[in-house]
Structure 1
Amino acid sequence: MSRKLVLYPNGKVKSHGTAYISLYLEIAATEGLPLGSEVNMNIRFFVFDQIRNKYLSIQDVSGRVRRFHNLKTEWEFDQLLSYDTLNDLSNSYLVDDSCAFRVEVFIIKCTGKGECSSMIKEPQSNYFTWRIDNYTDMKDQIYYSEHFTVEGRRWKLSLYPKGNGTGVGTCLSLYLCLGESETLPPNKKLCAKYKLRVKDQIHGNHHEKTVERWFSDPSIVYGIYEYFPLRDLLDASKGYLVLNGLHIECIIDAVSILF
């Protein structure tokens, strides 16, 4: 079954993507697909940062499985990248009037085999806290935490204090990444289910999101553009920023290897 990418540089109007680039994955030929059958896929799109030589991963928060069949031959990301983000020279997605895209497709076979999962059983062994001082003084676009180890693998967090992608200027963007020294054997993918949390240091009303992602390459970052609105973060009455200090937590609940 062949597949192709379909790019709408001006957005796909009927899908309300006019302020964004729209990118679709399409089954190019369905004659080999029996009537009534379907193919389940997990899809992730990427945009290449041509100066930093790394890909930015773009995926909806749910990371849900997409089902392709004869009557549904394409799945889309209508708001792949905003024009403002694309044209921002500091992002390096558009260089010499060219940009590069990539798609990863994981075909899910319902065989009940080929996946090894482990729930994290020991409390605190899956838990990492990143304490950031002088948050409002952070000037760089991106910051990285120190490495931490869960299930024998090295991880780190990355933070865009002024936002990234669709969150630029309005949201804190937060990511979980594999450590630089982490490698996976060919044809193997690592899936992690984890929580990203910004602590409310006064009221205990923490801001938390649960995420499930496939990891395959330490050079690719996986995260949430619009993780937390900056207006709420900077509102001292809400308790997230105390004495200009921020506490971020990551809890990895489960790790799976697909082979």
Structure 2
Amino acid sequence: MGLRFTNSPLDMLNGREAPPAHYLLKIQSFNSLLRSCLEKYSSDKFEVGDYKWRLTIYPGGNKQRGGQGHISIFLTLVDTSSLPVGWELHAVFNFFVYDQLRDKYLSLADNQLRRFHAMKTEWGEAKFVELQVFNDSSNGYLINNACVFGAEVFVLKQTRKAECLLTFEKPNVGSYTWTINRFFAQTCFDHHESQWFVAVGHRWRILIYPQGYGDGKGNSVSVFLSLDESSLPANTRLVVSCIIRMFDQNELKADPFEFTGDNHFGESCLLWGAPKFMPLSNLRNPKQTYLVGDTCVMEAAITLFGTISTVS
């Protein structure tokens, strides 16, 4: 869709005082160019985003693309022979025409987002601005047979990530119970580690800090669940719901003290848990029986709902 008027030049779609950031093309004798045998004029190369481009103007319109009676304008990606096989890039671009009477650069309302590749190196507007409107000097585009066009190009860097989620029809459930003796007596260690155990098809272990870790240091028992990375397929994360429990040893039917949460275990997150699992005051409360004779009983219950694989 090209630039048009409704009632006056002020009805143009977009206008600003700042010139285009990347390229300006000034034509001193537009009518001579229009009457010449040149169907189009292509600018010198300019560089944006580590790529080289040209701006092409069809003063009488690109007739092959239906631009009769208009000025056509196109952006072309050049020097593509040095790019790797299968290359492609996405760019946001816009075209401008200068209103010399009002000192405004006018453009389409929406920037153009296009995909450039080996089979498509040029995009543009066949009907950028109507020639009848352009030639009317009261509109400010063509003054003393001179005019100015411009372009801005912003290349989108390919930082996109993608993933594929596979959920199981029936979640995989597993658990492990661990009795910890000499809970506070082993003062040479700041934490206890369970043996590795297999649950939901992967290797895990529980880590517990009797005097706390991180935000729980000195005020809470901290508990974490660790995944063995060697049991995890490459570029895969696990969609897991975890419950870490400490049992009341005198009231076996009583509800345990527990922490519940969801997590995606993977290469970037192999350890998950609760720095403030249980206040130390609760654990040492003589009315509570989570700790009996310096022994406590922990459980990790793991539910695997699915996997997430990274897609390149």
TM-score of the pair, normalised by structure 2 = 0.43
- Say whether residues 1:257 and 2:307 are aligned partners: yes
- Say whether residues 1:161 and 2:196 are aligned partners: no
Alpha-carbon contact 2:165-2:306 (below 8 Å) kept:
no
Per-residue CA deviation, residues 223-252 of structure 1 (Å, 9 max, x unaligned), is 111111111111232110112110001111
Q: Which residue of 2 aligns with 1:230?
A: 280
Written as runs of structure 1 = structure 2, the 5 A alignment for 1:142-161 is 142-161=191-210
- Say whether residues 1:132 and 2:180 are aligned partners: yes
Per-residue CA deviation, residues 140-194 of structure 1 (Å, 9 max, x unaligned), is 12221011111211111111111011000000110111125323312x2112101
Task: Give the aligned CA root-mean-square deviation in angstroms.
Answer: 2.7
- Say whether residues 1:217 and 2:267 are aligned partners: yes
Greater Rg by CA: 2
Q: Which residue of 1 aligns with 2:298?
A: 248
Deviation at 1:129, TM superposition (A): 0.5
Match of 1:183 among 205, 216, 232: 232
Amino acid paired to 1:252:
I
SS where residue 241 of structure 1 aligns? coil
Q: Which residue of 2 aligns with 1:117?
A: 168
SS where residue 238 of structure 1 aligns? coil
Match of 1:205 among 243, 255, 258: 255
Deviation at 1:116, TM superposition (A): 2.7
Amino acid paired to 1:179:
D
Alpha-carbon contact 1:178-1:217 (below 8 Å) kept:
no
SS where residue 249 of structure 1 aligns? strand
Written as runs of structure 1 = structure 2, the 5 A alignment for 1:7-18 is none
Amino acid paired to 1:226:
K
SS where residue 162 of structure 1 aligns? coil
Structure 1 unaligned blocks of 5 or more: 1-30, 32-106
Distance 1:118 1:157 in 2: 28
Amino acid paired to 1:231:
S
Question: Please, which moves more after superposition, 214-223 or 164-173?
Answer: 214-223
Deviation at 1:216, TM superposition (A): 1.1
Distance 2:299 2:195 in 1: 13
Distance 2:181 2:241 in 1: 28
SS where residue 166 of structure 1 aligns? helix
Deviation at 1:120, TM superposition (A): 4.5
SS where residue 231 of structure 1 aligns? helix
Distance 1:148 1:118 in 2: 24
SS where residue 189 of structure 1 aligns? strand
Amino acid paired to 2:165:
G
Identical-residue share of aligned pairs (%): 24
Distance 2:211 2:246 in 1: 15
TM-score of the pair, normalised by structure 1 = 0.51
